[in-house]
Structure 1
Amino acid sequence: MKGSILDYQPDSRSGVISGEDGQRYQFDASQWQGSDEISAGRSIDFVANGDKAESIYPDKAAVSNTASTKKIAAALLAFFLGAFGAHKFYLGYTKQGIIMLVVFLLGFIMLGLPSIVIGIIAFVEFVIYLTKSDDEFDRIYVQGVRPWF
């Protein structure tokens, strides 16, 4: 059955799944069959056994579609507006976005050298984003916290 994780508590290693049938199912982290971390809002496939969920697998199609969309948008922002940190803001890395924006704008005072470096960093990140697979991009930049390269 398909569903999504409504809540997950890492300390108790348990959570709640909302099934496509409208029912809620309790689950234990030992039933997780994915290689990545469990997170709320995630689309999954599972086997319902009474009010318990078993054999829980991440829905790869849902991950790939979301990751692909975010990856393409982040790459385009890095290419066209990367010097302003737009791709950092888009991925939720506000602090790094502000750093890029400030260094780029203030870089003109120092003969433009810092601005050129920020532009190069943005271009390198554009290339890195495009060379990562959708799942890898999602794991590293969306679910994980890796703000630089």
Structure 2
Amino acid sequence: MRGQILGVDTRTGDGLVTGDDGRRYIFSPADWAHRGEPTIGAYVDFETSENRALSICPMPVAAPLTTSAPVDAVPFNDRNKYVAAALAFLLGTLGIHRFYLGQTGSAIAMIVLSCTVIGLLVTGPLALIDTIRYLMMSDVEFANRYPRKNV
């Protein structure tokens, strides 16, 4: 059975292990079948006899996965969040920033809405919100939300 060591008495070496079955088992130093001492939280493999854990061996720890790129590396993107923010601020009511980001449908909707005064009252605040949102977004989030164009 497999489980995890919950505790070890440093004076006596007796300990407690929880099994995958949800039960707790006690063990003594003689039950530890490996060099070294048991450590709290270690994953182990053991045999059971009533409420005792016998022949306890530590489970091998898997090596951490390594990647060639750092976790927080910015993916390549052919778009710039500062250019998108400037376009949204200067020409946002026409939806030019959305064309730049590849959101053609919402860009066309903004152009059509901009033909009316009421539409300008809607697209103006939307463009301002987009400007602030692009500037507040991290580079990684921006690159993931607006991926590179397929050329």
Q: Tell me the TM-score normalized by structure 1.
A: 0.48
Greater helix share, structure number: 1
Larger radius of gyration: 2
